[in-house]
Structure 1
Amino acid sequence: MTTSAPRLAPEQDLRKYRSLRDYLVWWFFSLILIIGLLAAFGEYHATRKEALNMQDHNLELIAQLVADQQALTFPSMIAHGQLPSPPPPMDEPPQTDLSLKRKKHKESELQEAKIIIQPLVADGQPIQAHWIQVPKHLADGLSTLQSQGEDWRVFVRTLPTGQQFLVGQRTALRDELARYTSLRMMIPLVVLFPVLLLVITLVIRQAFKPITALALHTDQQKDGVPLPLNNQKIPREILPFVFSINNLLRRLSHSLNHQRRFIADAAHELRTPITALTLQTENLEHTALTPEGIERVRQLRQGLNRSQHLLEQLLSLAKQHSGYTGNIEYVSLTACLHEVLGDLMPLALQKNIDLGVVQQDDVAVHAALQDVQTILRNAISNAIRYTPEGGQVDIRIYGEEALAVIEVTDSGLGIPESDLLRVFDPFYRALGQNDAGSGLGLTIIQEIAQRYGGQVTLHNRPDQGGLRFEFRMVRA
């Protein structure tokens, strides 16, 4: 099992939470859809009514044209869309090809409209109808008739000479033309609907971008160093919440600073008496003591050493919390390792532990020298402390693509799987570990890793036994 230190911004499955953006998009989509359907329904019927009125007007215009021509001299005349034309005057110029084409085009339009011109009365006598059967004494004007199983829309006109005729058109054809015209008028509305929906979605997404950026900025903040949130470009409705969060962060920062100062001051105040007690203990070791006294002095010395180590770790943790441990520089991991091994070799010899460097590539990082030393010292000292006498601790330093890797493996008992995450908590020590550690070593390493964007991982080694520690950060 591989376990890493909790990341500063863990990824979460947000799909189970309600999305305000999706809520607004779907509401706008529903409203636009309903309004669009109502508008389309109204536009369709309004356009259809207007188209029918225009066709009625066309019937009136055709009747007026026929009346002006005074050409109803046949006992029965059916135009089929071709209006009677008066004979051309003698001085009319011959028709060109272009004029013939225009005339044929107009005739084809009338033919498509299927306009029927039918005389009704001539010389005071009714004329037998060939197409539209009309009732007697039909009044002038527009009306709808049914003839031979078909509905007709007709316009009846009586001339001053007493002649009467009608201009008619099938209602089915009129409805088809009106429907076609209405559908054509709806095309812009149908195209506008998805475009409007897309624009609204983009606008809502753009409006939520400052909130997303604010969340990202909050998530990237370092533990223990809360900074106020930037309220630039934040919607006015969100500002009260941002102000409340900033007030909370200021109170939290004040509380954390007070706690760090207390820990640092306490560690400094305790360092002097602990050092004095250590010197007194060394003086006691040079005096003549009974075997029981020697054993008691040894136990006292061990307790003082643990206390001194704890104070040093507390001071180191306080420095990490302060956010500044030194200038950033080019640090060679191999050179830094040699310095740390010189300090920890006596501890390994005391337990007869085989402490060795298996691999040391020429790898460097940009960091504070003290931070790199702290990582190496805490990782190696933990491995030595929790490895039984006669065990083995191996160290590897190598590059992994764009990363520098510090790896420390030991032959100890490892850490229970349930405690692999908790060991990064301050003062926590896994069950079954009898060595008296401070419980702060991994906490300090994690603080450094978060500050440099690095990663700390712990791997149990079930086959070989022990634990493998790995630290990764960007190499120089």
Structure 2
Amino acid sequence: MRSIRRRLIAALLATIAGAVGAGAYATYSAARFEVDALLDYQLRQFALSLGDQAYPPPVRQDRDDLDFVIQVWSPEGVQLYFSHPHRSLPGLVGNGYATVETREGAWRVFALPLGRQVIQVAQPMRVRNKLALQAASRVLAPFVVLFPVLSLAIWFIVGRGLAPLRRLALAVAARTPQSLTPLAEARIPDEALPLVHSLNDLLTRLSEALAAQRAFIADAAHELRTPIAAMQLQTDLAEHAGTADERAAAMEDLKAGVRRAARAVQQLLTLARQEPDAVSVPLTRVVLADIARQVVAEHAGLAARKSIDFGFAEVDADLSVTGDPGALHTLLANLVDNAVHYTPQGGVVDVSVRLGEAGRPCLEVADTGPGIPADERSRVFDRFYRGLETAEAGTGLGLAIVRAIADRHGATVTLADGVETGLCVRVAFPAQRQQDTGPSGG
């Protein structure tokens, strides 16, 4: 049963039925107590009224409409009189009230000694049960009659109470990717407000995600249009080249354009993979020094061609974070690639793995390049943004990828001046608790 309405109605009706059942039992018990008290009193009065009677010899009376059986005994235990000889009653019982079991059922017996005889009056318990049941039935009959009416009333009331949820469902169903306005909170019950707040938060985030997606597609199309147009131009030049040297030059330019377009596409794919909704790789314990050594080894050749002093300034081999090894490799590779490309011949690029402030593991890349002006540092993380004085070819996506990966890992990225010149990029991860360095699910 998945319907809230049916569950509520079933629970309410079951509760009411249980309450009526408990009331019926209590009513029957009370009626039974009153009947017992009344009929016990009647037994005693009946016995008292027979005390001055002279009893003839026993006479057989087979009337079944009498609720009482009278027995008179002598003190010696001789039965002087009985009204129903066919009854299976025990002999003389003790004085006062007693409940006696026989093969015909239970009997309520009252024995009273009067003079030279003992008068014993008995009544079957089924008579008392019947009277008590009749009294309880008369009290409970209205409730039984009203139960179907009460069921319909509960069905209607619960339906009215759940009407706001139906209106809320219709309002959510009416939303489209083009209409993601928040749901109105007017006339919403307090119990449903947390759900409405969550839905509005989801709609807001979805609207922002769709807006970012549209902007990303527009920016990507704009960014790819230039290299594609250049490749088309170089293709035309190669087709119409008059000499082999002209054709070779055009082909070389065409290859460079293809490389730029391929790098732009690869950067776009990398950035798309780092979006929160697109990430499904489990996080593990990652030793930052291992990532740094891999990245430094990969870029050593490029740094050597530019005579750059490239290596480690500080390495803490024990520092580790919980993260995606591939993503962290991409993060550091982008930072090192930017530093090596923008650092002039004979410059310096240093990589550090150290423990920063508040016990936060840090990755740092410092260079002696031109740096980034302070007024542009808040914009360089935007997609496709490239500084006004940048001469190096690029897509403007490197730092955007770094920021996306850092956000995914709960890290912060800060830009600062180098020791003398250039730029220092610091990625500070959350402080790590002391735990095993083995893999753990993310």
**TM-score when normalising by structure 1:** 0.42
**TM-score when normalising by structure 2:** 0.45
